[in-house]
Structure 1
């Protein structure tokens, strides 16, 4: 029984014990060579995490795990046979035979788990990311410059959107808009939050939308008095009017990316759109998030729902209501709560949680995310995301009194964004965290622009969870 257990861990041990010296030595040598080859691959691969996004490698891992699982099962059974259990009394044969069967099954389980996890991971990547960059999008960096995988690029800008698409709604309104600008060397990130109700949105000169709206995005008021010409309507409007773009369909994502990039003075590389209510499934998949709710948050058509104040772990639905409810609140408070939820997920979705709940997380992610990030860029983006986990993440929210959403000062917005990016790029994170982000005053101000009060904080760049009531 002891030799049988040892053979399940060190192939060939039972064969040596039974006198099958040549077979035993071959098995042990192959086992040792395999371990050394695996160790060498880990130590010599510069971008191991990024390599695990390549479809061909993932397929090889799945096939190899399946083959090794079957081989290990056969090896345990053969080890039992060569130990000649027939010499034992009947009770001993039954006992060792049962043990051999259990060991054979147990030996297969790790390989089966690896194959299942990698297969799920591969299917998730295939379901979310497109295989090649779209026309005009950034392409993967040439492999002959491994010392600089970003080919001189200092930052990567990804637009993170929360949409409210539903079966009973036409189009997509992007009610949550955050641009994550990541320093490719340090992982230091600035998260720019733009309000959904930003008016008179300007479009980049020379674009079809700028030709249609030379004085800014403005439409007649809706019959009910609402407006469909705010920043959160740009995607929906562009999708609904392909004639503006010469008949091209589905221009919403591209137009919104370009519009927000023009507003902030940066180039947006890609976007990721998350179904806000599907996001609740992702939070449930990681086991909920711990938040400090500063005061009761009321929600529901008849104010029947309540997220009570206090520090505790929230499930997905409650976390989403905390982030999205506007009852007895406003858009700007809601933006702050959304930032708190993002910060809590970033802090609490540690590698151990992701691994233990991987299948649930993968399924939830596949169902709720839409993006134009090409699959070929993941080899660089995955390790960059791991840098962000331990880097300095600051947030700038373009809300009153910093700006007036009805009469935005576009020059001020760009100045604030540029200053925050300069601070983030500094080599000393402590300096970036305390540096002032006060912008250069714009030469033109709307008469309705709120004035700065004495003693008011002049640093719009905040820590991601700053002001979140102790969110963990």
Structure 2
């Protein structure tokens, strides 16, 4: 006869210990699950085990926000015009910033509440500490990400408010927007007073096809727009002793009483001169601080340029401190600036050609992806670099035009020797050449007179010799002209 088996006292203790351990692990897993549910679907933990009313409200808000977000993303991918409008509308950006901040606080509250619903005081100490750690990581991750997003939206909004104004919207003239780009040194008492470079970007309002029309700073004896303030002061043109195009803004700054109500008399006077010379109606202007330009180039990681010859660094009132060596290379902001402005061993017109090459390279190489990756640096550099009268409401339109311009060749025409005598410019010839360049960009047939055709052929042969000459790092010379100063494809001339 076998005796009955009964659990010993030790076996009973092992059974009793396993039951509390299993219950503790279940409570721990439940607490973690509630917090993870809140991370994926805010309000789901409250709907399951807490305040169902709060849970329903949170879930409805979450699904509504997710639907709006996905819809906006799809619309932005389908329509770039919508995307440009969204990132330039300050009212929308302000609302989005507040929404992200509120979402960060609300979501963090729901995660903390999920921790409370998990009854942390009923957990063992090691489980309680683990749950607190998980809760802290989730709260800081969610809230930190959303608050950083709100910060970036705020940076974009501040950039729009600081950079652009609420000026008058000016429609396209003959299907084109003409934007005057002024470049000036940032030295004490000089920034914005004597522009070193003046270029009109004439942009087709539909295709974005761009023609860069550059004017030399040393042009003299030119007319102003008929009926303008400057035209009344100089009815025979800017013919005073030592008066050049880059001195117009200085003259206006010394006679601000003639420009009542103007915030930028120097720019306004310069526009009167540009319009008088080219017969182009200027829509907007942008003043570029050449010194601040370095920061923009650095913000996008540099710009790739082909250096044709050694470019001196320095030499503008100081000693040459080094050289940018030949070759295709990515230049930082400092070297890009000197590539564009160096005059040592060359002339103003070679410098103008190199500046166009920089403009073309920047337009081609700064993609939306690069802009997004370096957005905060670009925004900070741009607000220090550019002053403009372009209204906020037009920014999305010009962003779209810039994107369309990237895929097309940039044409250039420069009003410089040998075509133009800057000391006594032929205004009729200037307007003819500008008109022809724009017509060619628009695909119109340009018919030259017999004399012009012969001159054009001779010029073409001179500008593209079998062995191109180099002066100051630019193809060409003062006598034969520089390739980048007059080209139907700027990229091939650089």
Give the TM-score, by structure 2 length.
0.79
Tell me, in whole angstroms, the C-alpha distance in 2 between the residues paired with 1:209 and 1:58.
41
Tell me, in whole angstroms, the C-alpha distance in 1 between the residues paired with 2:49 and 2:191.
73
Tell me, in whole angstroms, the C-alpha distance in 1 between the residues paired with 2:58 and 2:228.
67
Residues 264-307 of structure 1: per-residue CA shift (max 9 Å, x gap): 22110110001111111111122221222111111322222322
Match of 1:355 in 2: 372
**1:102–1:333: structure 2 CA closer, same or farther, 3 Å change rule?**
same
Is structure 2 residue 439 aligned with structure 1 residue 422?
yes
Is structure 2 residue 296 aligned with structure 1 residue 296?
no
Tell me, in whole angstroms, the C-alpha distance in 2 between the residues paired with 1:466 and 1:30.
55
Higher helix share: 2
Match of 1:455 in 2: 461
Is structure 2 residue 479 aligned with structure 1 residue 465?
no
Match of 2:210 in 1: 189
Match of 1:147 in 2: none
Paired residues of 1:404 and 1:450 also in contact (CA < 8 A): no
Tell me, in whole angstroms, the C-alpha distance in 2 between the residues paired with 1:206 and 1:26.
65
Is structure 2 residue 64 aligned with structure 1 residue 33?
yes
Paired residues of 2:411 and 2:490 also in contact (CA < 8 A): yes
Paired residues of 2:194 and 2:250 also in contact (CA < 8 A): yes
Match of 1:145 in 2: none
Greater displacement, 13-22 / 327-336:
13-22
Unaligned runs of 5+ in 1: 140-149, 221-226, 427-431, 444-448
Tell me, in whole angstroms, the C-alpha distance in 1 between the residues paired with 2:312 and 2:301.
23
Greater displacement, 208-217 / 70-79:
208-217
**1:297–1:22: structure 2 CA closer, same or farther, 3 Å change rule?**
same
Residues 24-70 of structure 1: per-residue CA shift (max 9 Å, x gap): 45433332222223344563986342243233222111111111111
Q: Of 46, 64, 68, which residue of structure 1 is paired with 2:99?
A: 64
**1:248–1:320: structure 2 CA closer, same or farther, 3 Å change rule?**
closer
Tell me, in whole angstroms, the C-alpha distance in 1 between the residues paired with 2:145 and 2:228.
55
Residues 403-460 of structure 1: per-residue CA shift (max 9 Å, x gap): 232332222221221122223234xxxxx8xx7x6765899xxxxx999457245993
Is structure 2 residue 43 aligned with structure 1 residue 12?
yes
Q: Of 253, 262, 284, which residue of structure 1 is paired with 2:276?
A: 262
Residues 2-25 of structure 1: per-residue CA shift (max 9 Å, x gap): 553343132234345547666545
- Calculate the aligned-residue CA RMSD, in Å: 3.1
Q: Of 390, 410, 418, which residue of structure 2 is paired with 1:373?
A: 390
Higher Cα Rg: structure 1 or 2? 2
**1:110–1:390: structure 2 CA closer, same or farther, 3 Å change rule?**
farther
| Equivalent residues, number | 434
Tell me, in whole angstroms, the C-alpha distance in 2 between the residues paired with 1:286 and 1:190.
24
Residue 323 of structure 1: CA displacement? 0.6
Residues 341-374 of structure 1: per-residue CA shift (max 9 Å, x gap): 1122212222222222222211111112111222
Tell me, in whole angstroms, the C-alpha distance in 1 between the residues paired with 2:60 and 2:244.
68
Is structure 2 residue 82 aligned with structure 1 residue 82?
no
Spell out the pairing of 1:320-359 with structure 2 (5 A cutoff): 320-359=337-376
Is structure 2 residue 235 aligned with structure 1 residue 218?
no
Tell me, in whole angstroms, the C-alpha distance in 2 between the residues paired with 1:400 and 1:67.
62
Spell out the pairing of 1:65-464 with structure 2 (5 A cutoff): 65-133=100-168, 138=169, 154-169=175-190, 172-220=193-241, 227=242, 229-242=243-256, 250-300=264-314, 301-426=318-443, 452-453=458-459, 455-456=461-462, 460-464=486-490
Tell me, in whole angstroms, the C-alpha distance in 2 between the residues paired with 1:232 and 1:99.
65
Give the TM-score, by structure 1 length.
0.82
Match of 2:82 in 1: 47
Residue 130 of structure 1: CA displacement? 2.1
Tell me, in whole angstroms, the C-alpha distance in 1 between the residues paired with 2:309 and 2:262.
47
Paired residues of 1:69 and 1:107 also in contact (CA < 8 A): yes
**1:308–1:438: structure 2 CA closer, same or farther, 3 Å change rule?**
farther
Residue aligned with 2:231, SS: helix
Paired residues of 2:211 and 2:438 also in contact (CA < 8 A): yes
Residue aligned with 2:196, SS: strand
Greater displacement, 24-33 / 184-193:
24-33
Tell me, in whole angstroms, the C-alpha distance in 1 between the residues paired with 2:399 and 2:437.
24
Paired residues of 1:50 and 1:383 also in contact (CA < 8 A): no
Paired residues of 1:49 and 1:382 also in contact (CA < 8 A): yes
Paired residues of 1:265 and 1:418 also in contact (CA < 8 A): no
Paired residues of 2:360 and 2:410 also in contact (CA < 8 A): no
Tell me, in whole angstroms, the C-alpha distance in 1 between the residues paired with 2:450 and 2:122.
93
Paired residues of 2:186 and 2:291 also in contact (CA < 8 A): no
